[in-house]
A and B are shown apart, each in its own frame.
Chain A
Amino acid sequence: MYDFEITKPGSIADAAKALGGDDAQALGGGQTLIPTLKQRLASPTTLVSLAGLSEMVGICKDDDGRLCIGGATTHAAVAADGSYPGLSGLAAHIGDPAVRNRGTIGGSLANNDPSACYPAAALGSGATIVTNAREIAADDYFKGLFETALEEGEIITEVKFPVPEKSNYQKFVQPASRFALVGVFVAKYADGVRVAVTGASEEGVHRWTAAEEALNANFSADAIAGLDAPSGDGMINDLHGSGEYRAHLVKVMTGRAVAAAA
């Protein structure tokens, strides 16, 4: 890696200030950024560590019953929480124990890797991404591969998840990285079902609206079985699977998520 400075601010305000510097870069759990630095693919002047910000760590419920997770909360902590089973189940299968003990929800959502798991949960839950500057609805947050609505220097301080009646995440792993080749998050709320797909599309995480409509009418795996798989056009086509295969898996994993939803 190249030389860089590292700063460990004591508050969100100080962190935001530090991120205003030239070529400053926020460092969450470092599960993507550190390998990128080691390969000399990034050269920030200053890393601003968010890991020590206690005000960004922890899980609680707000007055609306939403599960509020601090941006610097690790996957392991979310996995252990259990009050939103679909979300905890997802967190429990990200990477391996080392990743889960370092990686954070804010870091994952800010990075928005097209094969990451958390974006599916956030979009599939209609979560609210809270930053040091504003609140962003998940539907407005994800903008494509590694692209989000975050402005330069903006920090994800918290993510608020409405807790559904039923939910489940099904991940079909890419065999080498064990990221999602296709991951589908299904959440059934009183006002409707949301289905979010990660890993599959060249546009990144997205909702499968045809499945949502079918499930609003009939929340059962049969409702998915009767659907055509989404089109393979625009799906990722690589060493590990064609677009057509990914599209097929979207349907299979959606059906399984519905069947397993609890």
Chain B
Amino acid sequence: MPKDEGIGASSKRREDLRFLTGKGKYTDDINLQGQAYAYFIRSDVAHGKINSIDTSAAEKMPGVEQIFTAKDFEGVGGVPCGWQVTDRHGEPMQEPKHPVLAEGKVRHVGDPIAVVVADSLAEARDAAEAVEIDITELEPVLNMKDALKDGATKVHDDLTSNLCYDWGFVEENRDAVDEAIKGAHHVTTLELKNNRLVANPMEPRVAVAEYDGSTDDYTLYTTSQNPHVIRLLMGAFVLGIPEHKLRVVAPDVGGGFGAKIYHYAEEAFCTFAAKQVGRPVKWTSSRSEAFMSDAHGRDHVTKIELAMDKDGKFLAIRTDTHANMGAYLSTFAPSIPTWLHGTLMAGNYTTPLIYVNVKAVFTNTVPVDAYRGAGRPEATFQLERVVDKAAREMGIDPIELRRRNFITEFPYATPVAVEYDTGDYHATMDKLLEMSDHAGFEKRAEESKKNGKLRGFGIAHYIEACGIAPSNLVGQLGARAGLYESATVRVNATGSISVMTGSHSHGQGHETSFAQVVADMIGVDEAQIDIVHGDTSKVPMGMGTYGSRSIAVGGSAMVRATEKIINKAKKIAAHLMEASEGDIELKDGAFTVAGTDKSVAWGDVTLAAYVPHNYPLEDIEPGLEETAFYDPANFTYPSGAYGCEVEVDPETGKVTVLGFSAADDFGNIINPMIVEGQVHGGLAQGIGQALVENCAYDENGQLLSGSYMDYTMPRADDLPMFKVDHSSITPCTHNPLGVKGCGEAGAIGSPPALVSAVVDALQRGGHTNVTHIDMPLTPDRVWAAMNS
């Protein structure tokens, strides 16, 4: 292996050649012989009773193969939910049926009612216009607090109310927290909203399915972050197809950000319809459909209280959150405001008592599920914002207040059921202050003032929990899935290696960074290694990629499989060199006998494994292929300190982000360049949430931000040049690489830093009544806050 390869090298992303030259193979690039096209007819009202659907005229239209409605799905399962939350009283959550096509009622704008399958998309659309659907509009349920009032209109008539669950965590702490808050020297209270977002991956969702009647085999090509999960959920719970008869392929996927984790009705539809019509069926989402059918993110309304003693030492935290589930439960929706949110509420601080209450509510909106960070940004945002407000109220510098409360001894068991293995929060804070030239801030603020602008600095510290595990624990918490990962390392006869990983790359660069790990372990060139993912017929059952888990969990599985390979290869090498196995060392791609000049090359050993003429057949099998499944002992806990510097135009309220610095502790780093890219992307999305992105509904439940004319994506000129550092390293103690994960950090730590920076700017400008502004901090909102 060359010196500039392996763990710690900034190897260039090998996948970028095909991505940047238009050679990527995405799901929409897959066209099967004789395929038909599906066009979904979706509800244009938020809530309504379906009186009738008349397809008779449409069925006679040119090119129409078949038109499907709910009646075609009798006996077919609904779209399942993968996580059952138990409420504060020990009762399971309310779980409504989620039919593939609407049965009797429509529950959000975009809810699919009928599907036309035709020879061409244009013919399908033409026929769709001839389908007559009679709907009586019902009062839409939109405001979460109103939805919980007695007598409120129900989204699901067969449930007792719009409450999915009322979750308390840790329930046993409830009274003690109340007491601590009652007796505290000072309590800072903050009410805030975490705005609803649309994930907006560059590639919209696509599904192409085919059925082979001669073998009873189904194949689904789909834009997924986790093809095995789709195979399990769709095969077992929706369509009743055994796994050996169902292959799911997620080829190149153009971004996921969470929205491509879930099993969607469109995938099940295409798979079902392919058999019904006897030809492959393809569906490609339009961007407009993506806005109203991809799971949304966030949408929490929260009140948080932070109790302190006279020195600013945190005594207790109490939070009350309403979390929007939308109209149905998306695959992992119930877990986001609970186990991925409540467990993070300690943040980086030693607060001894914490109580988190979450009421999950059904509304007539698109289902909400994990979006980059998933629960952790919501926890971090409220905690860091209340700490910032508390600093102001207590007259303590916000950096100092944080330092006074930092956890410094590890492992640290929080009062919200998790144990941090490592971290050094003072180190990342120190690094941040250096990177952001915090010492020079006051001078810069003076310059801004001279130019009629208000400059502010905001800081946020975050803790993340990645690689959610172990499986037996998450099972107790309600997960209906395991959260291990798998890898098969297949060494070929001439020494090249194919690694089949259960992780899935949809932009993260696994093909490069995973190869670096195996190359480093064996000592061969990275070019000798290919990473294979995204096809249930090729890779062992894996759980896919989300929650910054790939290197921590998938990477660990790959390390374990590679260790098995090395152990076996050493046995072969020992045989070839007539040495004792215990004396064999692997270095730079060659096996040597310790203390001698005897050596065999990697390729000699691999060839012997497949051409076993001189081979210890009595002891070991031929071949060199190993599989490992890795189930982590704990989460990993990346952390970091983020600083944002802004300038506000007091005449217009426009916020300009002048600088953003991120000092992260991701544990050990495999590829610094890829890590930096991941942080950049996360920061762009976090700043996007804080500054511009907003998924809004009007009072009728119509999506106001249903296109890029009204939904603002952050653009390059909205963002500053980022300063990113990940030199503060406290390796994870419980996985073999000592890695923690970096995919979501940027999106978690940045929103509170930005909002605190704007509040700081306004405070400095004399707007001392402004203690918080709800995201996004668009010019009109900032101006309104200044003039309130």
Assembled-state Cα–Cα distance A175/B776 (Å): 11
Q: Is B722 an interface residue (CB 8 A)?
A: no
Question: Measured between C-beta atoms, what is the minimum distance from B382 to chain A in Å?
Answer: 24
Q: Is A219 an interface residue (CB 8 A)?
A: no
Assembled-state Cα–Cα distance A176/B780 (Å): 13
Assembled-state Cα–Cα distance A10/B783 (Å): 52
Q: Are B780 and A241 in contact (CB under 8 A)?
A: yes
What is the size, in residues, of chain B's interface with A at 8 Å between Cβ atoms? Answer: 21
Provide the residues of chain B in CB contact with A190, threshold 8 Å: none
Interface residues as binary, A226-262 with B (CB distance below 8 Å gives 1, 0 otherwise): 0000000000001111100100110010000000000
Q: Is B708 an interface residue (CB 8 A)?
A: yes
> Given A39-B288, A176-B709, A177-B709, do A239 and B704 touch, yes or no (CB 8 Å)?
yes
Could you say which of B125, B651, B654, B708 has the most chain A C-beta atoms within 10 Å of its C-beta?
B651
Assembled-state Cα–Cα distance A172/B654 (Å): 10
Q: Are A40 and B125 in contact (CB under 8 A)?
A: yes
Main secondary structure of the interface of B (DSSP, over half): loop
The closest CB in chain B to the CB of A176 belongs to: B712
Provide the residues of chain B in CB contact with A40, threshold 8 Å: 125
The closest CB in chain B to the CB of A256 belongs to: B651
8 Å CB contacts to B: which residues of A134-192? Answer: 172, 175-177
Assembled-state Cα–Cα distance A16/B713 (Å): 41
Q: Is B73 an interface residue (CB 8 A)?
A: no
Q: Are A245 and B651 in contact (CB under 8 A)?
A: no
Q: Are A176 and B708 in contact (CB under 8 A)?
A: yes
Q: Are B783 and A248 in contact (CB under 8 A)?
A: yes
- Please classify how large the interface on chain A is, using the bins under 10, 10 to 19, 20 to 34, 35 or more: 10 to 19
Question: Measured between C-beta atoms, what is the minimum distance from A199 to chain B in Å?
Answer: 13
Provide the residues of chain B in CB contact with A252, threshold 8 Å: 651-652
Q: Are A239 and B652 in contact (CB under 8 A)?
A: no
Could you say which of B704, B709, B780 has the most chain A C-beta atoms within 10 Å of its C-beta?
B780
8 Å CB contacts to A: which residues of B691-717? Answer: 692, 694, 696, 704-705, 708-713
Provide the residues of chain A in CB contact with B709, threshold 8 Å: 176-177
Q: Are A240 and B778 in contact (CB under 8 A)?
A: yes
Q: Are A241 and B779 in contact (CB under 8 A)?
A: yes
Provide the residues of chain A in CB contact with B654, threshold 8 Å: 172
Q: Are A242 and B651 in contact (CB under 8 A)?
A: no
The closest CB in chain B to the CB of A249 belongs to: B652
Q: Are A175 and B712 in contact (CB under 8 A)?
A: yes
Provide the residues of chain B in CB contact with A177, threshold 8 Å: 708-710
Provide the residues of chain A in CB contact with B710, threshold 8 Å: 176-177, 239-240
Assembled-state Cα–Cα distance A238/B698 (Å): 10
Query: What residues make up the interface of B, taking CB atoms closer than 8 Å to A?
Result: 125, 288, 651-652, 654, 692, 694, 696, 704-705, 708-713, 778-780, 783-784
Given contacts A40-B125, A172-B779, A177-B710, 19 further A-B contacts (CB under 8 A): A39-B288, A175-B692, A176-B705, A176-B710, A176-B712, A176-B713, A238-B704, A239-B694, A239-B704, A239-B705, A239-B710, A241-B779, A241-B780, A245-B780, A245-B783, A245-B784, A249-B652, A252-B651, A252-B652
Q: Which 4 A-B pairs have the closest CB atoms?
A: A176-B712, A241-B780, A175-B712, A177-B709
Query: What residues make up the interface of A, taking CB atoms closer than 8 Å to B?
Result: 39-40, 172, 175-177, 238-242, 245, 248-249, 252
Can you give 13 A-B contacts (C-beta < 8 A)?
A: A175-B692, A175-B712, A177-B709, A239-B694, A239-B705, A240-B710, A240-B780, A241-B778, A245-B779, A245-B780, A249-B652, A252-B651, A252-B652
